[in-house]
Amino acid sequence: MNEFPETIYEARRWLQSGRISSVELTELYLERIRQLEPNIHAFLHVDEAYALTQARLADERRAAGEDTPLLGVPLAIKDIITVQGMPATAASRILEGFYPPYEATVVRKLREQGGVFLGKANTDEFAMGWSTENSAFGVTYNPWGRQRVPGGSSGGPAAAVAAGEAIAALGTDTGGSVRQPASWTNTVGLRPTYGRVSRYGVIAFASSLDQVGPMTRTVRDNAILLEAIAGRDPRDSTTFSRPVPPYSQQLEGGVTGMRFGLPREYLTEDVHPGIRKATINAVEQLRQLGAQVEETSLPHTAYGMPVYYLIATAEASANLARYDGVRYGYSAKAPDLQENYKRTRGHGFGPEVKRRILLGTYALSQGYYDAYYLKAQKVRTLIRSDFDAAFEQFDALVAPVAPIPAFRIGEAPTDPVALYLLDALTLPSALAGVPAISVPAGFVEEEDELLPVGIQFIGRPLDEATLFRIAYAFEQATQYGAHRPAV
């Protein structure tokens, strides 16, 4: 069979009709992984026997009359999300060989629907990074450019979906880690409202910011996947009890009459000219579809980066204190306890994780808590107020996702502050806890390579349905997402 379904929507139709079985579909994706992984390295762990066992169970469930949107569909899971029976390393030496005795709520929900887990996808260590170069187990390559990064920290899931190694994937977004790699790989990535999706079983980076998000080839698939994983979870007290809407059934309707805000702070001179052009073209496309677009201001945007890197690092410092080499994971096995702590954490953590732990520990230390961490929380409230005010006037905001296209491996800025600014356009919405979706918006030419560009739509809290409707209208009108990399 030369062709095979590339989306959740197509796969369900093929499986329902009997055109293909889940075992056959899974074998096709496993074969594609075998062929492409030497050049992509999207996965840290692939378990063919595990996946085929799940596929056989899915076929048995279908034969017994069951039918869910994800029954028998091959998926990739970012290695920051626990799956029972698979390792969970967070791409860190300190968790090498760790098999969790539990699994994330989002994974349990996918399992209940009959999803097939192909393996664990690469990530920056503990989801701290922009390019997947911070993984302790090797960089992932962007399918759109062999020597380009796929973005981060969910670079592995993004590359797997873009290369056709998985139909869809789960990533996590703390400050932009779903949206930025989606924009650099020509895929669709959603950061849901904080609390819309359970964080139980997700290896913590920054607890007040982390969110699981779907990564797919199409907006419809993204809606299907969010329907499956969203909802109240008693094991995560931050989740909402509101019912989960049928997102995939509310895509039609277009954007006629909608009002969009274009934040002027997101289109500064620091944004790559090609990305500025793609954003302006997206605005014109929205107008052609019947929407109104006006310039607006989110005045506290400039504070997003320093606020994020105080709050996120402080929470990371607390969360990562548990990795001590005593209970699980890597242990240096030194002659005394104090030396064991030093060696374990010194050898087990990579340089970026150490940098953020040090920043966070400093911000929380005596004499600096009020000056840094507490003040950052107050400014975070101002950032949230900017979005509240904007949504009194607009149905959604439209903006670029990243200020530059995917850079070459090894060519990231050497200045950490310059690196942190790569998240400048995604951090404010993450701090505000509002949903945002990245959708393919064209390409820019860099050194004779065509590199994908994403546009993000930012919406009101718990209004993912409107974001999907907007993104679907834009996707159908432009068809940028239909382009595939030559892998």
Are the beta carbons of 304 and 383 closer than 8 angstroms?
yes
Taking 50 as the pLDDT cut, the residues of the chain under it are: 1-2
C-alpha to C-alpha distances, 21 to 18, 161, 295, nearest whole angstrom: 6, 20, 50
The pTM of this model reads 0.97
Q: How far apart are CA 24 and CA 72, in angstroms?
A: 10
C-alpha to C-alpha distances, 168 to 13, 74, 120, 143, 218, nearest whole angstrom: 16, 7, 12, 15, 9
Minimal CA–CA distance to 165: which of 174, 156, 177?
Answer: 156
Tokens 């008693």 locate to 234
pLDDT of 10 reads 97
| Residue-wise pLDDT tens digits, 44-78 | 999 999 999 999 999 999 999 999 999 999 999 99
pLDDT of 416 reads 76
C-alpha to C-alpha distances, 243 to 115, 231, 246, nearest whole angstrom: 22, 7, 9
What is the distance of C-alpha 485 from the center of its chain? 20
Q: How far apart are CA 302 and CA 431, in angstroms?
A: 13
Minimal CA–CA distance to 70: which of 80, 60, 78, 58?
Answer: 58
Q: Which helix (H) or strand (E) holds 216?
A: strand 211-216
pLDDT of 98 reads 93
C-alpha to C-alpha distances, 373 to 314, 345, 365, nearest whole angstrom: 8, 24, 10
Q: How far apart are CA 89 and CA 108, in angstroms?
A: 19
Q: Is 383 exposed, middle or buried (0-12, 13-18, 19+ CB in 10 A)?
A: buried
pLDDT of 448 reads 86
| Residue-wise pLDDT tens digits, 435-455 | 999 999 999 999 889 999 999
Just list the catalytic residues.
78, 153, 177
CATH class of 1-301+379-487: alpha beta
Are the beta carbons of 291 and 254 closer than 8 angstroms?
no
Minimal CA–CA distance to 135: which of 266, 15, 64, 45?
Answer: 45
pLDDT of 263 reads 98
Q: Where are the domains of the chain?
A: 1-301+379-487, 307-369
pLDDT of 196 reads 98
Here the tokens at position 300 are 């506290």
